[in-house]
Structure 1
Amino acid sequence: MSATKGCLKLNSGFVFDYENLYGAGKVSDADIEALADRIRLAHRAVEHMRATGEVRGHLSKDGAPERVLFSQLPYVVEGNLNSPASIKRLKDFGESLRYKVDSVVSFGIGGSFLGNKVFFDACAGEFWNSKSQKERNGYPKLYFNGNNIDARRTTDMIQQLRTEAQIKKVHGETTPYKVLLIVMSKSGGTLDTMSTFMVVYEALKQEPGMEVEVVAVTDPAGGDKATLLKRLADEQGWNTFSIPDGVGGRFSIFSEVGLVTAVCLGVDIDAFLAGAKDMDEVCRTPDIWQNPAMLNAVLKYLAAVNHDRDVEVFMPYADYLKSLAEWYVQLLAESLGKRYDREGGEVFYGRTPIVAVGTTDMHAQTQQHQEGKKDKVVQFVKIAEWENDPVIPDAFPSAAKLSEISGLRLSQALDVARESNAAALISENRFNATFVLPKLDAYHLGEILYLLALSIAYEGELANVDGFDQPGVEAYKRIMGPRLKALKQ
């Protein structure tokens, strides 16, 4: 690991470049020194959380004390939420789909969708479902639903699966078109997920030439404590995976909730968890300049409270990391958007997160970033080495403007765009920082996702808010339930 004030580089090659966020006119040494005692207390609290699962003042939505266990997930050991046996079962499940299941549909919302979409985009890509079975190494196509109650898209997806089943039959294959529905809900009462799941399940069950199986991902408790979905799974004989207690949905990508989708795509989940574990171990030091999660939390917290930068634009320079930005929006918004501090005082804390993507949003949002209110931190994400990196050809020599960019690799043009954006922003004292992933692979994906999750734990301590509850989400649910019942009267 190497660190200079302005840049922290881990042995893995992961880089946190915060030069445009820290220093004179930005978050200063004086800002950090004034917060020193709270930083030490925050680190001590996070270490206590790691060791015991205890977070000061944290209660479940039912008002009972609840442990916070997401930091356990990268460690695959006997007795942990991810054990050698549970990881083997996941891998065996993924292997059982190869050349046997045609399509998987993953039903979930919140963390049960957003984290799984990160795996699909980063590790499979937009055109996965257009590839042949051989090109997918025998793994099935993958679709998502249940993340919004959208009648048109749900019926369009049903028709797509019907069409694929017909094509299989036309090609002379005698085996039925096999669809696996993975339904994710801790209780089984999640409106968005369960309503669309039931629509799709009933439609496909009635389709001739189609075979449908279901896997439920839910609270594993049995007996009197069994949830609606667990009871349903037991009655129907569906295979089940667990949504563990102590792991909020926005942190669940490291658990079976996320890993069950990853293995459907052949993702190396060992490498993914290893990246998360290595990041966790790096972040055990109390030295802020060597701990990327704590440093990220401190700089963003101070940028907000001392410099009024309470909007965070998360801007990866990679199309396939847009879903990472969307996952981060939920993580930041639900965790830190809090009305009350731990003593019950009104604080209305939290940065507003915004998704932006590379050069796409340089042509859409950058006008606001560059000349709008000085209330933002722009967090860039760069990929250092691309698996494929075409050279721009001199396709039209007579067009001098186009010939000027010929000979460059696409990554070089992309880097120049990002660097120019960062330089323009800081020239107007507009804060920004960059995470650099050496490659876009499972290991480095685990690193950045875990860094962001652990940063939340640190910032919750700095802000003196509970980063692990979400009381604001319950408000609309209390209103929605009676209104749904009224519709049937």
Structure 2
Amino acid sequence: MDLNGKLKLDSGFCFDYTNMLGEQLISADDILAVQDKIERAVQGLAQIRSNGVSPGHLSKNGQPEPVYFTRLPMIEQGNPNSPASIEKLKAYSKQIWDTKEAVIFFGIGGSYLGNKVLFDIHAGSFWNQKKALERRGFPKVFFSGNNLDADQYASMLDEIVRQAQYKRLAGQGITRVMLIPITKSGTTLETVAAFVYFYEQLKKEKELFEVDVTVVTDLDGAAAAGPLCQLAQENNWQTFDIKEGVGGRFCVLSNPGLITAAVVGIDIEELLAGARDMEMACREEDPAKNPALLNAVLKYLAADIYGCDIEVLMPYSMRLKSLGEWYVQLLAESLGKRCNRQGEQINYGRTPIAAVGTTDMHAQTQQHQDGRRNKVVQFVEILEKTCDVQLGKPFGDMEFFAKYNGMCVDDALKIALEANAQALNEDSRFNANYQLPKLTTYYVGQLLYFLMLSVAYEGELADVDAYDQPGVEAYKRIMKEKLGR
């Protein structure tokens, strides 16, 4: 096994793991000692790819449940993303472009976090402040249902109503709005509560709004007989299916996430092409040639041997802030398990922490650098930015400010990342870097799928079910009893 510190794919995606190896860090002997587990992980993913079976995996109802997330990159008949489903999304994108000024998404967990990643990277922070022409005709986008927060409901409603009133006073007619609840079960409390509230309030304002609904749910399982599907049938609302075998935290590259891509004009096929190329690269059995497997092996060893039970995901880009929030769910729900597949109590997993460089260098880095040696710090770097800012000298020759004249902000960002990594490495603290050539749709697909596949491989290494979340069901049961619902 040839481990030279960097694994670069033909696409340009690079996993720089230099600072995971060395004295007081992971050794070649550490990796050789878990060769049997690596082989088990390879076989486990091969079985999932072949027949969608993860041994011992059961649904929350205790029934055998397939695992199909590895099929998401392949647009094929019979897969979660089929040629017909992609064409339906593309047609929906055009319909929204033609007929809607605003879209409100309702979802929580996997039905929200991945959508927000796609939106933030593509649209940025000021999408809704842009004119329609600047958005290329695509609608304003709002997110709700990701918390039980009455203040958030009310303030968002006030803003949407205010904008609609201004539009009508300007003689531009009513605002055509699409509500999109996303919930696999069709009964998720946060999603349903927000959807009910906004539907009721907007329907009252008949002079301001024309309200339509699209439901994203499980159309073939238990939810098919549920209240949302019933409403969709009665009102002739459009529907999109949440496919079997794709859990919420793995669903960003299927209908629940791709509908957001469609609404804001993201190239869905390019997104999946990135994921597909990553999937093909990660079928290698040798960790030195398979970035997701190698990532999983190094994180597993850091946790199992060196006590690293905290993982910090720290992209150096504000557009990737929500990536860290998405990864929190992916890592925590997939690997945070009380028992292994044999029923033995092991309490495995790492506590994920979302950070952003350079912001959190002024907040968290003190802990990363001087705190307990129980962390892996994982950077995400964009090598080529589409925009850079060069500073001038608006204050003349004033000595303090003169040194900033000609400084490129992106160069300073890169130096900050390098300094952070070097400081950690000089103290033998685990850190690594995922490098994307550019922040494009293709590379976003690569990164998202790489992270999902890494977690899946680590589940096999630790011999835990990466696709269930029994701990979540415990609080849900108590909460339902207390609510009397």
Output the TM-score relative to the length of structure 2: 0.98
Q: Could you tell me which runs of 5 or more consecutive residues in structure 1 were left unpaired when the two chains were aligned.
A: none
Q: Is the 8 A contact 1:217 1:240 kept in 2?
A: yes
Q: How does 1:130-169 map to 2 (within 5 A)?
A: 130-169=129-168
Displacement of 1:99 after TM fit? Answer: 4.3
| Equivalent in the alignment of 2:192 | 194
Partner of 2:66: 67
Residue 270 of structure 1 corresponds to 269
Shift in Å at residue 106 of structure 1?
A: 0.3
Report the residue type matching 1:412 in the other structure.
D
| Structure 1 Cα separation of the partners of residues 79 and 398 of structure 2 | 62
1:276-291 aligned within 5 A: 276-291=275-290
Match for residue 183 of structure 1?
181
Q: Give secondary structure in 2 for the equivalent of 1:54.
A: coil
The answer to whether the 8 A contact 1:222-1:230 is kept is: no
Cα distance between partner residues in 1 of 2:386 and 2:38: 39
Provide the identity percentage: 52
Q: CA deviation at 1:37?
A: 1.3
What is the CA–CA distance in structure 1 between the aligned matches of 2:196 and 2:104, rounded to whole Å? 12
Separation in 2, partners of 1:100, 1:295: 47
The 1-side partners of 2:148 and 2:473 are apart by 18
Q: 1:130 to 1:225 in 2, by over 3 A?
A: closer
Q: Which amino acid aligns with 1:421?
A: N
- CA deviations over 1:329-352 (Å, ceiling 9, x no partner): 000000000000101110000011
The 4+ residue runs of structure 1 with deviation greater than 6 A are: none
Distance 1:383 1:223, change over 3 A: closer
The alignment covers a number of residue pairs equal to 483
Distance 2:64 2:8 in 1: 38
Distance in 2 between the 1:395 and 1:307 partners? 51
**Inter-partner Cα distance in structure 2 for 1:58 and 1:404:** 60
Q: What is the rounded CA distance, in whole Å, between the counterparts of 1:476 and 1:400 in structure 2?
A: 59
Q: CA deviation at 1:228?
A: 2.7
Distance 2:268 2:439 in 1: 14
Is 1:115 aligned with 2:114? yes
Deviates more, 1:364-373 or 1:224-233: 224-233
State the shift of 1:223 in Å. 9.5
Match of 2:400 in 1: 401
Letter in 1 for 2:381: K
**C-alpha distance after superposition, 1:174-223 (max 9, x if no partner):** 3x211100001112211111011101100000102210000000011279
**1:218-251: CA deviations, max 9, x gaps?**
0112799523322221122110001111100000
Partner of 2:460: 461
User: Which runs of 5 or more residues in structure 2 are unaligned?
Assistant: none
CA contact (8 A) 1:120 1:265 kept: yes
Aligned to 1:118, what secondary structure does the other structure show?
A: helix
Displacement of 1:256 in angstroms is 0.5
Instruction: Kindly indicate whether the alpha-carbon contact (under 8 Å) linking 1:107 and 1:144 is maintained by their aligned counterparts in 2.
Output: yes
Match of 1:376 in 2: 375
Measure how far apart 1:418 and its partner are: 0.6
For 1:240 and 1:87, locate their aligned partners in 2 and report how far apart those are by CA, in whole Å.
Answer: 14
* Alpha-carbon distance between aligned partners in 2 of 1:225 and 1:254, rounded to the nearest angstrom: 22
1:45 Cα deviation after fit: 1.0
**CA displacement, residues 141-189 of structure 1 (integer Å, 9 cap, x when unaligned):** 0000000011011011111111111111121123x21110000111221
Q: Is the Cα contact below 8 Å between 1:219 and 1:227 reproduced in 2? A: no
Secondary structure of 1:98's match? helix
Matched, 1:58 2:50: no
The aligned runs of 1:304-319 (5 Å cut-off) are: 304-319=303-318
Give the drift of 1:393.
1.7
